[in-house]
Amino acid sequence: MRFIIIALTLVSGVFAASTYEGEFPQGMRTAVFNETRLRSAPRNDASNVIRVIPAGTRVSIIEKSDATMAGGGVVAPWYRVSLSDAGKDASGYMWGGHLALAAVERGADMFVIGLTRYSKGDFDAECRMVRAGTIVKRLAFRPHYSVSGDPGAYYYSLSASLSGNRGVDGIENIIDVHCWFPAMDYPYGHIWIGVAKDALYPIARDTSFEESGSKRSLRRYVFPGDPSGERGIIAMIDVQYVFDGKVGDFTLKSSNRTSFRWHNNALVPAKK
């Protein structure tokens, strides 16, 4: 049995970065992924509603309950939380599937990352722009994952960070969603999301994979504003390694660079 591994990072805001395995630890702060109900008991029952809590509300974890629930195929525990909403302090229970796995803040806007569905061995997720408790924009994406353990339980680590535009014209900020599992034979990588003029844009998704004792396939993106970046170019770097038994280590097999440009809010191949 594998457990849920989730990392919460709220930067430019600032929640302390934390990565954990299995549960939201006591005292951890996170945010509400979508409007939900604070309840007096860890179950979905109309009789135990304390009040409705808007998306983006900050909450602190008091403890995890033994009760779990599934929604959209996603399985998560219930948590007892504390919060302050509209100047009123309260505590009660929330389902873990309504808590953001990661959140980043920019001025009055909060971007929350969470799971929306599990089906046929894959998760769907969204990045949501929340303003004054209202979800104003959504961007669907697929987080990195490999089927293992309990179906519907996302056992990967997941964090998010917010930067400037990293030299990409027409983009104000870039959100880096990082998904990984600390073991060989599990795909991992980054989802890059652009923010501009109250809109969210999918920039790129890179996936790396390390097969124990055999090969490594590493992919990354270099942005124009990065130290090794090139003006106007978003470069995808693919590096392949194979294990050489004679030297007892991995050796380089190939290294390829593909150039793209950001044009009309989409990544397009750069003309040579």
pLDDT for 86 equals: 75
**pTM reported for the whole predicted model:** 0.90
Residues 121-149: what's their mean pLDDT? Answer: 95
Contacts of 166 (CB under 8 A, 6+ apart): 174, 223, 224, 225, 226, 229
H or E, element range at 52: strand 49-53
Residues 112-135: what's their mean pLDDT? Answer: 96
pLDDT for 182 equals: 82
Contacts of 59 (CB under 8 A, 6+ apart): 29, 30, 31, 32, 53, 81, 82, 83, 94, 99
Q: What's the chain's average pLDDT?
A: 89
Which of the residue ranges 79-88, 161-170, 214-223 would you say has the lowest mean pLDDT? 79-88
Banded pLDDT at 27 (limits 50, 70, 90): confident
Position 173 pLDDT exceeds 90: yes
Position 18 pLDDT exceeds 70: no
Position 12 pLDDT exceeds 60: no
Which of 46, 157, 57, 155 shows the shortest CA–CA distance to 98?
57
Position 28 pLDDT exceeds 60: yes
Task: List pLDDT tens digits, range 87-118.
Answer: 889 999 999 999 999 888 999 999 999 999 99
Burial class (CB in 10 A: 0-12, 13-18, 19+), 270: middle
pLDDT for 2 equals: 34
pLDDT for 21 equals: 55
Three-state DSSP class for 47?
A: helix
Task: List pLDDT tens digits, range 185-209.
Answer: 999 999 999 999 899 999 999 999 9
Residues 40-62: what's their mean pLDDT? Answer: 95
Position 36 pLDDT exceeds 50: yes
Banded pLDDT at 228 (limits 50, 70, 90): very high
